[in-house]
Chain A
Amino acid sequence: MKKITIFVLMTLILANFVDFGHANADSDSEAYGFFVDSDRYGTHKDLEIAEEYTIHNTKYGDYIIGYSRLVVLVYEDQTDSDWASVVIQSTAYPKDVYMKGGLFGRLKFTDMTTLSQNIHSDVDSGFKNWGYGYYTDASLFEMEQPSPMLTISSTTYRASIEFSATPKIQGEVTFDIKELSLLYGHKPDTEIFDVTYKYSCNFLDCSYRDGMTYNKATFLVNMTKNASNAGIFVNDIYLATTFRCVTGYPLFVEWTTDLHVNTLYF
């Protein structure tokens, strides 16, 4: 009995100090809302952060009406260098402004709102005909809490997308939250990843699209069809954010700002 007790105690003590296969997330990916297993993917090969204001040019001057940001991290699969993983976080922040306009150039409060964000990636555009070039799967496309909201939700933003040799799905996923919907498309022959986050009001509540929001996307890149590509990965990623004026001037006008980053590792 004594031996069993000592054995159990020793096991408990050992279990406390020994790590039995615990997966660690890369801290940079965590900072942007992703869990990228550092044992499998190591540290990122490239991190690019670009930002931009949307400017409305008028005869009275230039006005800042929106802010957008694009964060891209690229990881190489340490267990299979034919695979790379790209994770993306985008930010949209409409900026309200007192704008001059009208007959007398009076200042008027201009209320801006986010309409949509589109992430477009021409994966390694120099090469074609990969068959199935890349896909996202459920475990890598959990959109849990993409934006800071008052009520935390871990299920309403969930989306699972899988791309394979033949496009299995192409269409629209509507999130339960009613304030964000997702449109995506995939064409294996052109190696394009394309996703659009569309903002809308939840009945009369438009606070989500009026505030600062974040969206996330990720896809895997299969480089097996391109032997010469081993160790080199080039990826162009574009973010287009569209803002709209809802009160003030010029009413209902939309502005789209493009951000482009080029990720590269050798």
Chain B
Amino acid sequence: MKDKRYLFLITVIIMSVVFILVYTQLPYKRIPNGLPADYFDIIDKIEDTNANVYVYSDKLNFNDDFHPKFISKVSEIELNRFNEKNFLVIDMDKYNSKSLGTIEEIDQIYKNQCFYILLINYGSSDSTKFDELLTDNSKSSDLITLTYSACHSSYHIEYFSSGFSSNDILMYAILDKISMLISAA
């Protein structure tokens, strides 16, 4: 009788430990390690606003949590001037080796089609392709956002002043930036 009581007690203790471990791991398992708790809120916000997000990159996959439109040519972009939530993410690591389109084509969607342009890995790739659009302060950055005044409230350049230690943090920064731009639009 006493043995059964001990067995029951041990079982309860083991179950409690397992429950605590499972409880503290499971609900948050899907957020990539190192990213803030608002990760899925940001993704939901972008998806709920029907923002058009185009990505030109081989490295960004957003962990399959977010599904932008991956393109290989500017001509694949559906132009819609009436939607002010258009984003083009250009990975300069890919841009430097392959062709997304001419500067004139990118200029066209930037200036005439209300696209926000997000340049990633610009500083680390030592690119100079967009130098004429950038300020000296921003050229070394790995996440630069370009906004043109004709479509939005003003023309300006925003840049992260330091690099990103992991691809997950870079991907989060892109999503966070898009989310903030949607809020400000």
Interface residues of A (CB under 8 A from B): 27-28, 31, 47-53, 55, 60-65, 67, 69, 95-98, 100, 106-109, 259-262
Q: Is A31 a contact partner of B153 (Cβ separation < 8 A)?
A: yes
Chain A residue with Cβ nearest B177:
A51
Q: Is A62 a contact partner of B154 (Cβ separation < 8 A)?
A: no
Q: Is A51 a contact partner of B24 (Cβ separation < 8 A)?
A: no
Binary contact track B28-54/A, C-beta < 8 Å → 1, others 0? 100101111110000000000000000
Q: A97-B35, A97-B36, A107-B28 are in contact. Are A53 and B161 (CB under 8 A)?
A: no
* A-binding segment of B5-13, B88-96, B112-120, B164-172: B164-172
Complexed CA–CA distance, A61 and B172 (Å): 15
Min Cβ gap A32→B in Å is 10
Interface residues of B (CB under 8 A from A): 21, 24-25, 28, 31, 33-38, 135, 137, 153-154, 156-162, 165-166, 169, 172-173, 176
Chain B residues, CB < 8 A from A48: 135, 137
Chain B residues, CB < 8 A from A49: 156-159
Q: A67-B176, A96-B38 are in contact. Are A51 and B25 (CB under 8 A)?
A: no
Chain B residues, CB < 8 A from A27: 153-154
Chain B residues, CB < 8 A from A98: 28, 31, 37
Chain A residues, CB < 8 A from B137: 48, 50, 261-262
Q: Is A62 a contact partner of B165 (Cβ separation < 8 A)?
A: yes
Q: A28-B154, A98-B37 are in contact. Are A64 and B159 (CB under 8 A)?
A: no
Chain A residues, CB < 8 A from B160: 50-53
Most buried by A among B154, B165, B172: B154
Q: Is B38 a contact partner of A259 (Cβ separation < 8 A)?
A: no
Q: Is B38 a contact partner of A95 (Cβ separation < 8 A)?
A: yes
Chain A residues, CB < 8 A from B169: 53, 55, 62, 64
Q: A50-B137, A50-B161, A106-B25 are in contact. Are A64 and B156 (CB under 8 A)?
A: no
Complexed CA–CA distance, A47 and B25 (Å): 45
Chain B residues, CB < 8 A from A31: 153-154
Chain B residues, CB < 8 A from A67: 176
Chain B residue with Cβ nearest A43:
B154
7 closest A-B pairs by beta carbon, nearest first, are A95-B36, A49-B158, A98-B28, A96-B37, A61-B34, A62-B165, A97-B36
Chain A residues, CB < 8 A from B173: 53
Can you name 9 A-B residue pairings with CB atoms under 8 Å?
A28-B153, A49-B157, A51-B160, A55-B165, A55-B169, A60-B33, A62-B165, A64-B35, A106-B24
Chain A residues, CB < 8 A from B166: 61-62
Complexed CA–CA distance, A261 and B21 (Å): 45
Complexed CA–CA distance, A61 and B153 (Å): 38
Chain A residues, CB < 8 A from B36: 64-65, 95-97
Q: Is B159 a contact partner of A100 (Cβ separation < 8 A)?
A: no
Min Cβ gap A51→B in Å is 6
Complexed CA–CA distance, A55 and B163 (Å): 11
**A47, A62, A69, A109: the one within 8 Å of B37 (CB):** A109
Min Cβ gap B68→A in Å is 21
Min Cβ gap B139→A in Å is 13
Chain A residue with Cβ nearest B164:
A53
Q: Is B33 a contact partner of A51 (Cβ separation < 8 A)?
A: no
Min Cβ gap B155→A in Å is 9
Q: Is B161 a contact partner of A260 (Cβ separation < 8 A)?
A: yes
Min Cβ gap A84→B in Å is 18
Complexed CA–CA distance, A64 and B177 (Å): 14
Complexed CA–CA distance, A96 and B42 (Å): 13
Chain A residues, CB < 8 A from B153: 27-28, 31
**A51, A62, A106, A109: the one within 8 Å of B159 (CB):** A51
